[in-house]
Amino acid sequence: VRLHSHDVRYGSGSGQQSVTGVSAADDGNSYWRVRGRTAAVCERGQPVRCGQAIRLTHLGTGRNLHSHHFVSPLSGNQEVSAFGEDGEGDYLDDWMVLCSGTYWARDSEVRFQHASTDVFLSVTGEQYGRPINGQKEVHGMASSSQNNYWKVMEGIFMQPGEVFKAEQHHTEL
Provide the pLDDT for residue 80. Answer: 97
pLDDT for 168 equals 52
Q: Which CATH number fits domain 2-171: 2.80.10.50, 3.30.70.20, 3.40.366.10, 3.40.50.2300?
A: 2.80.10.50
pLDDT of residue 53: 97
Q: Enumerate the domain spans of the chain.
A: 2-171
What element of type H or E holds 162?
Answer: helix 162-169
pLDDT in tens, 120-140: 999 999 999 888 899 999 999
pLDDT of residue 160: 66
CA distance 36 to 52: 9
Residue 7: per-residue pLDDT: 87
Residue 99 neighbours by CB distance under 10 Å = 19
Residue type, 75: S
* pLDDT-flagged residues of the chain (< 50): 169-173
Q: pLDDT at position 170, please?
A: 43
**Nearest partner of 70 among 57, 83, 60, judged by Cα:** 83
**3-class secondary structure, 84:** coil
Q: What is the pLDDT of residue 173?
A: 45
